């Protein structure tokens, strides 16, 4: 390849080309895999392979995908990828370096409207994903033709990530959240939870309650094809032709896991952990689980679910924003430094007590008299 008479520059360029070709042909397929293929359904009783040596061998991290007895299944059982599963506008950032061993994790979130805290939420979540080499899928709108409320699109996003076959676990996290301890690793949270389960290999969901039986704003979901029938059951629960109540996706996930007869099929697949582990609420939103404990400095994440119903009237116009700004000042802190500006909610909006300005009533600016003088040549 290297011939006599070649200059050092030519040799350097040749070696660089060879190195790039080496990287291209030795990367794992998952780095380039983007298409969604029919996927095998894995029964809950199927054995799960032991994790890498970096983790406790007794705790499984991934469900296998057998190569035979393939069953094609979609959430709506009728051309998922062209209906409910249409991919919406958004960002899908894969891990920055190949995940050759250990637990492969994707984070998913979405927001369909502009808010006052977009920068806080996105900087926080993308920064956390980058720090720990996780993937992050962020959608900005629902697929065209999706009839239910926007929150139902989280099922599409979860299924999409499962169908890539690139991940072991998925963390669904609502947009109105702040990861306040970015040192906490999701794989540690998952493994710690699974150690408390009698049959860890059969656990597909790690969930929390709040003052209601389930809060679906932060959920850890095994990225396995055996989760797809559950998603299908949740879609069926929310089918307007089958229910007059128009339940939310949270209502249907709850019923599939906790309400008979569905719980006989799915109930044992869920593991419930204390709310503060993955879904802490702040003192301003005191809707706590049975442990009756809210967020405290050093906790993993804080969630402002239903903030509009808990804050005083004068803050309701941006209830989520004021809490996002306040708690973003606590990221990776156990105590405040004194330089924070957003801890007093009222002071975030100095004009909260004033009447709102109505368009058309703003007086035009006063005309200013030109007091400059010019000489005869017109020069100031």
Whether 374 is in a domain gets the answer no
Buried-exposed string 129-151: b where 16+ CB fall within 10 A, e elsewhere: beeeebbbbbbeebbeebebebb
DSSP assignment string, 136-182: EEEESSPPTT--S-GGGHHHHHHHHHHHHT--SEEEEE-SSEEE--T
Whether 353 is in a domain gets the answer no
Long-range contacts of 56-59 (CB under 8 A, 24+ apart): 56/191, 56/195, 58/200, 59/191, 59/194, 59/195, 59/200
Q: How far apart are CA 329 and CA 341, in angstroms?
A: 8
Q: What is the pLDDT of residue 216?
A: 97
Q: How far apart are CA 71 and CA 236, in angstroms?
A: 19
How many beta carbons lie within 10 A of that of residue 301, not counting itself? Answer: 26
Q: Which has the closest alpha carbon to 299: 319, 278, 323?
A: 278
Reduced to 3 states (helix: H, G, I; strand: E, B; else coil), residue 292 is coil
Whether 222 is in a domain gets the answer yes
Strand stretches in 197-236, DSSP E: 205-208, 215-222
Domain that holds residue 115: 39-348
- One digit per residue, the tens of pLDDT, for the chain of length 380 reads 555 665 776 777 777 666 665 554 444 433 333 345 445 555 555 544 433 333 333 455 554 443 333 333 344 444 444 544 556 688 999 998 877 678 999 999 999 899 999 999 999 999 999 999 999 999 998 777 666 688 888 998 999 899 889 999 999 999 999 999 999 999 999 999 999 999 999 999 999 999 999 999 999 999 999 999 999 899 888 877 676 678 899 999 999 999 999 999 999 999 999 999 999 999 999 999 999 999 999 999 999 999 999 999 889 999 999 999 999 999 999 999 888 889 988 878 655 444 444 445 555 556 555 444 434 443 43
Q: What is the pLDDT of residue 97?
A: 86
Whether 13 is in a domain gets the answer no
Q: Which has the closest alpha carbon to 48: 38, 59, 37, 40?
A: 59
Crossing angle for the helix pair 228-237 and 249-258, nearest 10 degrees?
120
Whether 360 is in a domain gets the answer no
Tell me how far apart the terminal alpha carbons of the chain are, to the nearest angstrom: 73
Whether 303 is in a domain gets the answer yes
Q: What share of the chain is helix, strand, coil (3-state, %, to 5)?
A: 35, 10, 55
Q: How far apart are CA 332 and CA 340, in angstroms?
A: 14
- Counted domains in the chain: 1
Q: How far apart are CA 15 and CA 66, in angstroms?
A: 41
Q: How far apart are CA 376 and CA 111, in angstroms?
A: 62
Report strand pairing: 270-272 vs 205-208: parallel
Q: What is the pLDDT of residue 329?
A: 96
Q: Which residues are CB-neighbours of 268 under 8 A, at least 6 positions away?
A: 44, 199, 202
Q: What is the CATH number of the domain that holds 145?
A: 3.90.550.10
Whether 285 is in a domain gets the answer yes
Q: What is the pLDDT of residue 46?
A: 52
Whether 183 is in a domain gets the answer yes
């Amino acid at each position: 390849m290297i011939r006599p008479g070649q200059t050092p520059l030519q040799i350097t360029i040749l070696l660089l080309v060879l190195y790039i070709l080496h990287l291209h042909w030795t990367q794992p397929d998952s780095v380039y895999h983007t298409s969604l293929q029919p996927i095998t359904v894995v029964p809950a009783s199927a054995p799960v392979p032991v994790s890498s040596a970096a983790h406790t061998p007794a705790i499984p991290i991934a469900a296998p995908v057998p190569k035979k007895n393939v069953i094609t299944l979609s959430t709506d059982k009728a051309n998922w990828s062209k209906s409910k599963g249409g991919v919406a506008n958004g960002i899908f950032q894969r891990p920055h370096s190949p995940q050759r061993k250990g637990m492969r994790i994707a984070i998913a979130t979405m927001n369909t409207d502009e808010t006052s805290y977009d920068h806080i939420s996105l900087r926080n979540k993308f920064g956390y994903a980058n720090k720990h080499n996780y993937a992050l899928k962020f959608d900005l709108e629902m697929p065209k033709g999706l009839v239910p409320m926007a929150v139902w699109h989280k099922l599409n996003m979860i299924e999409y990530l499962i169908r890539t076959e690139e991940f072991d676990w998925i963390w669904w996290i609502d947009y109105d959240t702040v990861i306040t301890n970015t040192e906490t690793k999701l794989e540690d949270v998952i493994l710690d939870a699974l150690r408390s389960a009698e049959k860890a290999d059969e656990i597909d969901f790690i969930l929390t309650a709040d003052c209601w039986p389930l809060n679906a704003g932060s959920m850890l979901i095994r990225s396995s094809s055996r989760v797809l029938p559950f998603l299908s059951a949740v879609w069926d629960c929310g089918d307007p032709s089958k229910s007059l109540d128009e339940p939310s996706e949270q209502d249907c996930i709850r019923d599939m896991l906790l309400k008979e007869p569905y719980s006989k099929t799915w109930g044992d697949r869920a593991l419930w952990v204390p709310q503060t582990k993955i879904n802490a609420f702040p003192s301003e939103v005191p809707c706590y689980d049975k442990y009756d404990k809210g967020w405290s400095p050093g906790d993993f994440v804080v969630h402002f679910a239903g903030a509009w119903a808990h804050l005083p009237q004068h803050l309701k116009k941006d209830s989520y924003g004021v809490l996002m700004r306040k708690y973003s000042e606590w990221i990776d802190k156990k105590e405040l430094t004194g330089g924070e500006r957003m801890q007093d909610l009222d002071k975030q909006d100095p004009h909260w007590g004033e009447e709102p300005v109505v368009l058309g009533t703003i007086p035009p600016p006063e005309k200013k008299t030109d007091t400059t003088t010019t000489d005869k040549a017109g020069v100031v």
